[in-house]
Structure 1
């Protein structure tokens, strides 16, 4: 009966004419096997948690199975390239983020994909921000005092990041560009090592997510001077935004969405987008993201593409101004 029904639908589709109608017929029986959701970072981080929340919710909504696969490396570019190279049949999708779509391709001479042309942009899902944080021995209680201190001591105030081209590094470059300061970059192999040295007073500052710095701020081990967002963070309600602290143009959006390979059938892309929207609207999903320093922020495909274009232009200016290039 199932085979005869599919034959009937395909016959009707062909009678209407055109590949789009045939595509719609196949979409009626989607998914028929597990969907792979590539997270381009290691397990355990905020984006991995996001991927697993989506996979769990979408599995139920689509009456199928969505399986997370972590493919880390090169600041997210390895996993993102795997999405671009997959068959555009709806069975491989991935998490696309600001680092891998708007920043990463501009850091290398030959990018493995085009952030617009290589993908089907299913929808933006979440956004967050970073904080400007100093260790407790730094003689600055406000962002204004920290900027004044950095101007008085060029190349002396140090900050840690997880490497050249990472989000903390880019946030620091944006900070220096907007404030006319010059900080000393200390790259680490991981965020844990950077935070250990922050707490020990071996580096002066960091640009980290609110969920990472909030607990240390509350106990007095570190001092969060501002959040790089348009609104205050729920994790740090007592901390002003950079604009509230008197510094406009210092917003740092940490955003992520779902992408697939270019040329996915529109019916499948639309079905995935509808499923994602259903999942993120469920009670508790937003709370789970808040615990990771993120918030629900849905944008449909067209607006997601425009965000990538805008962010690519914005970060391109920062990268060119700082002269940042990675060896390939």
Structure 2
């Protein structure tokens, strides 16, 4: 009887000790989250230095450093349409010390074009906040006898297969948008891929291709100077960089409504207190007048979001891009 009582007492003591350790561990984790960050934080930008994505990340990193008292350091890891850098973020420990600057291609397009993607874009990340939104702009060579999307569709139907559209490569967002335009408008156009967006613009200005959906941040100056002809922008609202151009919805092609976005994400499993702290800091950073002015000059619109809103945007983009890829049997080859 005494043996059974002692054994029961020891069992209860062991259970209580285990629960105490669990409670202590949870308390320490909460304390660490509250003290975050306690050391430098890396923000992985999955593209080369110098572009608009890199610029926005570096500006925000400076602002986060000032707010949170630790260095936020940008690290460029380019390659595989952004999947090398974002793959590193997906594999990182979810402790808040490795974050990513996610955008359209690596977060919602490229993984769906790869046979063996390094991550599932819908499960691998913890969205924190948007940092900026921009648009694509439908542009044509100046000599093309059209002044609207409707006129372009009419010309393509009149001359099936004779018009061409440029892109920044097979499987790029401009390629997918061009295929979506063809399908939704019921027209036939030849796809001409280039190594980059600027190459496509140059080919249009040389009269070698007819149309392209390029980033407004890169194309707006060419439109304003008359070297390219702008027809519409892809954002839900008109773009302040080219305010006289209608949206694609206004122009009769609402299915082309897509935003260019980039923002801050962490690996899946990032503790909610850290997500909340970073989201609050991002809201303040994106409201900074110098950041907003710099982005506007680049044709990009500074905007923050809640983690939930960023997650919803990512889910929507993944669903829509994947549908376009499957419908048109698009590959990156």
In the superposition, the TM-score normalised over structure 2's length comes to 0.89
**Residues 1:22 and 2:28 aligned together:** yes
**What is the rounded CA distance, in whole Å, between the counterparts of 1:81 and 1:250 in structure 2?**
29
CA contact (8 A) 1:280 1:296 kept: yes
Unaligned runs of 5+ residues in structure 1 are: 1-13
**Residues 1:224 and 2:219 aligned together:** no
**What is the rounded CA distance, in whole Å, between the counterparts of 1:34 and 1:171 in structure 2?**
39
**What is the rounded CA distance, in whole Å, between the counterparts of 2:174 and 2:117 in structure 1?**
21
CA contact (8 A) 2:134 2:217 kept: no
1:172 alignment partner, SS class? helix
Cα deviation for residue 290 of structure 1 reads: 1.9
**Residues 1:167 and 2:173 aligned together:** yes
Two-structure CA RMSD over aligned residues (Å): 1.8
1:267 alignment partner, SS class? helix
Residues 302-322 of structure 1: CA distance to partner in whole angstroms, max 9, x if unpaired?
222222222211112111111
**Residues 1:186 and 2:175 aligned together:** no
Partner of 1:318: 324
Partner of 1:9: none
**Residues 1:107 and 2:118 aligned together:** no
Partner of 1:5: none
**What is the rounded CA distance, in whole Å, between the counterparts of 2:324 and 2:24 in structure 1?**
46
CA contact (8 A) 1:23 1:265 kept: no
Partner of 2:220: 214
**Residues 1:155 and 2:161 aligned together:** yes
When residues 224 and 19 of structure 1 are mapped into structure 2, their CA distance, relative to the original with a 3 A threshold, is farther
CA contact (8 A) 1:23 1:267 kept: no
Cα deviation for residue 18 of structure 1 reads: 5.8
**What is the rounded CA distance, in whole Å, between the counterparts of 1:34 and 1:120 in structure 2?**
19
Partner of 1:285: 291
Partner of 2:3: none
CA contact (8 A) 2:132 2:300 kept: yes
Would you say how many aligned residue pairs link Structure 1 and Structure 2? 314
Cα deviation for residue 16 of structure 1 reads: 9.6
Cα deviation for residue 241 of structure 1 reads: 1.1
Residues 98-153 of structure 1: CA distance to partner in whole angstroms, max 9, x if unpaired?
22122222112222101132122212222211000001111111111111112222
Larger-gyration structure (1/2) = 2
Partner of 1:136: 142
- Of 29, 33, 42, the residue aligned with 1:36 is 42
Unaligned runs of 5+ residues in structure 2 are: 1-19
**What is the rounded CA distance, in whole Å, between the counterparts of 2:91 and 2:266 in structure 1?**
10
**What is the rounded CA distance, in whole Å, between the counterparts of 2:65 and 2:233 in structure 1?**
35
**Residues 1:261 and 2:233 aligned together:** no
Aligned structure 1 segments of 4 or more residues deviating by more than 4 angstroms = none
When residues 18 and 251 of structure 1 are mapped into structure 2, their CA distance, relative to the original with a 3 A threshold, is farther
Cα deviation for residue 19 of structure 1 reads: 4.3
**What is the rounded CA distance, in whole Å, between the counterparts of 1:62 and 1:214 in structure 2?**
36
Partner of 2:5: none
**What is the rounded CA distance, in whole Å, between the counterparts of 1:104 and 1:18 in structure 2?**
43
CA contact (8 A) 1:199 1:222 kept: yes
- Of 253, 258, 266, the residue aligned with 1:252 is 258
